Structure 1
Amino acid sequence: MTGAGFQGSAWGALFVLAASVLWGTTGTAATFAPDVSPLAIGAVAMGLGGLLQAAFAARSIIAFSASLRGQWPTVALGSVAVATYPLAFYSSMHLAGVAVGTVVSIGSAPLASAVIERIMDKRRFTGRWAVGALLGLAGAALLCFAESGQGDPASATDSGWSTPAGIGLGLVAGLTYALYSWAAHRLINTGVPSRAVMGAVFGMGGLLLMPVLAVTGSPLLATWQNSLVGTYMALVPMFAGYVLFGWGLARVRASTATTISLAETVVAAILAVVVVGERLPALGWVGAALIAGSLFVLALPAPMRRKGLAEESPTEDGIPVPAAQTLA
Structure 2
Amino acid sequence: MEKHYQLGIFAIVIASCFWGTTGTAATFANGVHPITIAAITMGVGGCLLALLSIGAIKLDHLLLRCHWQLIIIGSLSIVVYPLAFYSAMHLSGVAIGNVVSIGSAPLFTALLERIFDKQQLSRRWRISAGLGLSGVALLSFAKAEIVGEPMAAQSYWGIGLGLLAGLSYATYSWVGHRLIRCGISARAAMGSQFGLGGVLLLPILIFTYSTVIHSTQSLAVGLYMAIVPTVLAYKLFGYGLSKVKASTATLITLLEPVIATLLAVTIVNEIIGLQGWSGMGMILLSLLVIIWPASTVRSKQEI
The 2-side partners of 1:259 and 1:214 are apart by: 36
Could you list the structure 1 runs, at least 4 aligned residues long, displaced by more than 3 angstroms after superposition: 314-317
Residue 25 of structure 1 deviates from its aligned partner by: 0.3
The 2-side partners of 1:135 and 1:109 are apart by: 15
Q: What stretches of structure 1 of length at least 5 have no aligned partner?
A: 305-309, 320-328
Matched residue, 1:26: 22
Choose from 229, 233, 236 the match for 1:241. Answer: 233
Residue 317 of structure 1 deviates from its aligned partner by: 4.8
Matched residue, 1:146: 142
What is the Cα-based RMSD across aligned positions, in Å? 1.3
Residue 228 of structure 1 deviates from its aligned partner by: 0.6
Q: Is the 8 A contact 1:104 1:171 kept in 2?
A: yes
Show CA shifts across 1:184-242 (max 9, x none). 00001111110111110111110110112222232011111110110000011111011
Is 2:194 the counterpart of 1:170?
no
Q: Is the 8 A contact 1:57 1:196 kept in 2?
A: yes
The 1-side partners of 2:195 and 2:188 are apart by: 10
Match for 1:39: what amino acid? I
Q: Which moved more, 1:76-85 or 1:293-302?
A: 293-302
Residue 276 of structure 1 deviates from its aligned partner by: 1.2
Choose from 42, 50, 53 the match for 2:49. Answer: 53
Secondary structure of 2:147's aligned partner: coil
Residue 31 of structure 1 deviates from its aligned partner by: 0.6
The 2-side partners of 1:216 and 1:137 are apart by: 36
Match for 2:6: what amino acid? A
Residue 315 of structure 1 deviates from its aligned partner by: 4.6
Matched residue, 1:72: 68
The 2-side partners of 1:33 and 1:77 are apart by: 31
Q: Which moved more, 1:295-304 or 1:88-97?
A: 295-304
Choose from 245, 253, 257 the match for 1:261. Answer: 253
TM-score scaled to structure 1, two decimals?
A: 0.90
Q: Is the 8 A contact 2:121 2:302 kept in 1?
A: no
Matched residue, 2:176: 184
Secondary structure of 2:272's aligned partner: coil
Q: Is the 8 A contact 1:17 1:261 kept in 2?
A: yes
Q: Is the 8 A contact 1:99 1:268 kept in 2?
A: no
Match for 1:215: what amino acid? F
The 2-side partners of 1:28 and 1:200 are apart by: 29
Match for 2:133: what amino acid? L
Residue 303 of structure 1 deviates from its aligned partner by: 3.4
The 1-side partners of 2:55 and 2:132 are apart by: 38
Matched residue, 2:222: 230
Match for 1:110: what amino acid? P
Choose from 204, 217, 229 the match for 1:212. Answer: 204
Secondary structure of 2:30's aligned partner: coil
Q: What stretches of structure 2 of length at least 5 have no aligned partner?
A: none
The 2-side partners of 1:88 and 1:317 are apart by: 34
Show CA shifts across 1:67-86 (max 9, x none). 00100011111000011101
Matched residue, 1:318: 302
The 1-side partners of 2:143 and 2:283 are apart by: 15
Match for 2:295: what amino acid? P
Residue 33 of structure 1 deviates from its aligned partner by: 1.2
TM-score scaled to structure 2, two decimals?
A: 0.97
Matched residue, 1:111: 107
Matched residue, 1:17: 13
The 2-side partners of 1:317 and 1:230 are apart by: 40
